[in-house]
Amino acid sequence: MTHPLIIAVDGPAASGKGTIAARLAQTYGLPHLDTGLLYRAVGMGLLDRGGALEDATLAGMVAGGLDVRDLRDSERLTSRGAGEAASRVAGYPGVRAALLEFQRSFAGQAGGAVLDGRDIGTVIAPKAVAKLFITATPEVRALRRWKQLTGRGEVIAYQDMLADIIRRDERDAGRGAAPMVQADDAVLLDTTDMDIETAFDAARRIVEAARVRHGL
Ligand code: DC
């Protein structure tokens, strides 16, 4: 039986991991799950119900009742506010536990899958064939996210974007439940000085090397 090609792509916000994961999925003909969308949908679902971001119990219930249809409004889910809400609810163990099974079964599909997030290589798919940890300096990531958000009409100053990114890194890496951390066997890819083509090419080479190692 051939090993399923599971590709885990982790890293901080606006590192390029989402684009890289989507393109890897396309290249290898695999399904792709942006796991950040799950946390974003929980954060927005909580706010939609009039809940406070401090309400871990309600956040856990929203996570437990999440439906794939809740992931459809990608414009809303990729807004700045949704990112902030996601990072807050992602710290609650009850939220993470409620989302675990869905992510594990997505990763366990017969032919394999590509998942991107913060804890894919460490918690969701520790046996993934290829693990990448994508990063870039906070300044470059803030600039990328600022261009993306202002390009579609959100009004935000670059300095505020940078402060957001730094605060989110601290929260995502500092939480007790499945913190953002590079897995021991993940390959680090720093995209600070790379355009997306160069970064994707480097990512593809990392996956190719992992496939060779696993005889795939
Ligand atoms: O990747 P993103 O910016 O869409 O993620 C939004 C937030 O969700 C992020 O700040 C932390 C959380 N998250 C997480 O804790 N674990 C994941 N696997 C994916 C996202």
* Secondary structure in 3-state letters for the chain: CCCCEEEEEECCCCCCHHHHHHHHHHHHCCCEEECHHHHHHHHHHHHHCCCCCCCHHHHHHHHHCCCHHHHCCHHHHCCHHHHHHHHHHCCCHHHHHHHHHHHHHHHCCCCEEEEEECCHHHHHCCCCCEEEEEECCHHHHHHHHHHHHHHCCCCCCHHHHHHHHHHHHHHHHHCCCCCCCCCCCCEEEECCCCCHHHHHHHHHHHHHHHHHHCCC
pLDDT the model gives residue 2: 65
Query: How far apart are the CA of 1 and the centre of ligand 1, in A?
Result: 33
State the chain's mean pLDDT as an integer: 95
Torsion of Cα atoms, 135 then 140 then 142 then 148, to 10°: -100
Q: Which of 42, 118, 149 to mutate to test the pocket of ligand 1 (most atoms within 8 A of CB)?
A: 118
| CB burial of residue 143 (10 Å; 0-12, 13-18, 19+) | middle
Query: How far apart are the CA of 122 and the centre of ligand 1, in A?
Result: 14
**Comparing 68 with 141, which gets the higher pLDDT?**
141
116 lines ligand 1 (CB under 6 A): no
| Ligand 1 atom 11 nearest Cα | 87
State pTM to two decimals: 0.96
Question: Any idea which of 28-37, 77-86, 116-125, 134-143 has the lowest mean pLDDT?
Answer: 77-86
If pLDDT is split at 50, 70 and 90, which confidence band does 25 have?
very high
pLDDT in tens, 138-173: 999 999 999 999 999 999 999 999 999 999 999 999
Question: Any idea which of 74-83, 107-116, 152-161 has the lowest mean pLDDT?
Answer: 74-83
Alpha carbon 159 to its chain's center: 23
Query: How far apart are the CA of 31 and the centre of ligand 1, in A?
Result: 19
If pLDDT is split at 50, 70 and 90, which confidence band does 9 have?
very high
pLDDT the model gives residue 73: 84
87 lines ligand 1 (CB under 6 A): yes
- Whether 5 shows a pLDDT value over 60: the answer reads yes
